[in-house]
């Protein structure tokens, strides 16, 4: 595996802003799971690809492989590596359980709407550069978040 820096990408709350009752401007709703609408903004693919010169893009979502199958084609993204984040069905385990051993000592930017206390402690204790980028689940990922990840 490469020693490149990683950009960890969550879906719900980041690419699928579920925090508002109405679909935000620029998004369209898709029924990717039976009876469940997912909000998609096609520009997110272009935005994330801005990171590709500096970071390896990686899914860090409870969607796991479904992100490649269902969402990547709508965003114009290639298949991305997937960090196993989901615990047993119905569990709400902290994603950090899968993320920490997967990233090892690489530099990381992590886009999520719910960074746990444990994630903040982990980030502060790492020797490698680690930036947790909070995304508001009402508006979703924006250029300001990408700019934050690209800042030195």
User: What is the pLDDT confidence band of residue 135, given thresholds at 50, 70 and 90?
Assistant: very high
User: What pTM was computed for the model?
Assistant: 0.93
Tell me the two tokens of residue 48. Answer: 């994330």
List the structure tokens of 61: 């979502």
The CA-based diameter of the chain, rounded to the nearest angstrom, is: 44
pLDDT one-digit tens code per residue, 27-50: 999 999 999 999 999 999 999 999
Cβ-based neighbours of 27, under 8 Å, separated by 6 or more? 17, 39, 40, 41, 140
What pLDDT sits at residue 88? Answer: 58
Strand partners, 16: 12
pLDDT band at 92 (very low <50, low <70, confident <90, very high): low
The domain limits of the chain are: 5-150
Query: 50 with 150: CB under 8 angstroms?
Result: yes
Q: Classify domain 5-150 at the CATH topology level.
A: Rossmann fold (3.40.50)
């Amino acid at each position: 595996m490469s020693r490149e820096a990683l950009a960890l990408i969550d879906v719900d709350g980041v690419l699928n802003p579920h925090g508002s009752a109405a679909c935000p401007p620029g998004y369209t709703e898709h029924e990717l799971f039976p009876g469940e609408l997912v909000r998609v903004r096609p520009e997110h693919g272009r935005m994330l690809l801005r990171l590709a010169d500096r970071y390896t893009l990686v899914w860090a979502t409870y969607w796991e492989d479904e992100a490649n199958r269902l969402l990547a084609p709508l965003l114009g993204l290639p298949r991305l590596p997937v960090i196993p984040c989901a615990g047993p069905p119905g569990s709400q385990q902290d994603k950090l359980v899968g993320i920490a051993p997967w990233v090892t000592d690489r530099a990381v930017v992590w886009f999520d709407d719910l960074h746990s206390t444990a994630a903040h402690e982990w980030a502060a204790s790492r020797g490698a550069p680690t930036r947790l980028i909070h995304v508001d689940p009402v508006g979703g990922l924006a250029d300001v978040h990408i700019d934050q990840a690209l800042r030195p």
